[in-house]
Amino acid sequence: MPKFNESEMAEMKSRFLAVCRTVNRPGMEDLLDWLENSDFFTAPASTKFHGNYECGLLEHSLHVLDKTWDLVSKYPNLGISKDSVIIAALFHDITKANYYVKDYKNVKVYSENGLKRDERGRFDWVSQSCYKIDDKLPLGHGEKSVIILQSFIKLQRDEIYAIRWHMGGFDSAVKGGDFAMSKAYEVCPLAVMLHMADVESSYLLETIEK
């Protein structure tokens, strides 16, 4: 059963677009047109982790926006701009547009007593819908979000830092020993806040469909 009904999905999309249109940045409407022609507003946020359901990506983007605002409001002296918060939070995962496709997998059937078996002791299986990754533009994660966005709007330096490094220690470059993220976090408070908002949204606000 879908997590969101049509009215809820429409409300989230309407809020997303309304917030984006408060940003006065050349190319924003072209960017929103591109989103409309992608699966961004219906895509999941992952295949098996947080938001692995229809509209999970849209839900996640709005959660990250709210949580980034919470953090920015605690440090008004930093002078982080409204537009930068909106762009970094709502588009940090634009890399996931046109990234997932629907598929099916066979899963074991569970009953009240555990795994269900037939009279010969064999497990019962059922076909279940799921999502899988089909990366048509393999340019990395945060990097690809920056590249896509720069095709439409000119990003400020702090927005680039924040979007590029929003994955924090989960980023493959960090796992490989790259220290660029640490430097970005030193010079860009928004990058730190976006990562913290992303983690809180992913692990504390959003659910996983088993």
pLDDT digits (tens, 9 = 90+) for 31-74: 999 999 999 999 999 998 899 999 999 999 999 999 999 999 99
Specify whether 169 is located in the same domain as 110.
no
Non-local (6+) Cβ contacts of 35 within 8 A are 41, 94, 97
Q: Which of 133, 156, 189 is the last residue of a domain?
A: 133
Its domain, for residue 173, covers: 6-96+138-205
**CA dihedral angle for residue 8, residue 10, residue 13, residue 19, rounded to 10 degrees:** -90
**Are residues 193 and 71 in contact, defined by beta-carbon separation less than 8 angstroms?**
yes
- Map residue 93 onto helix, strand or coil: coil
Q: Is 140 exposed, middle or buried (0-12, 13-18, 19+ CB in 10 A)?
A: middle
Count how many domains the chain has: 2
How far, CA to CA in Å, does 206 sit from each of 19, 48, 137, 202? 21, 12, 27, 6
- The whole model's pTM is what? 0.89
- The string of pLDDT tens digits covering residues 10-19 is 999 999 999 9
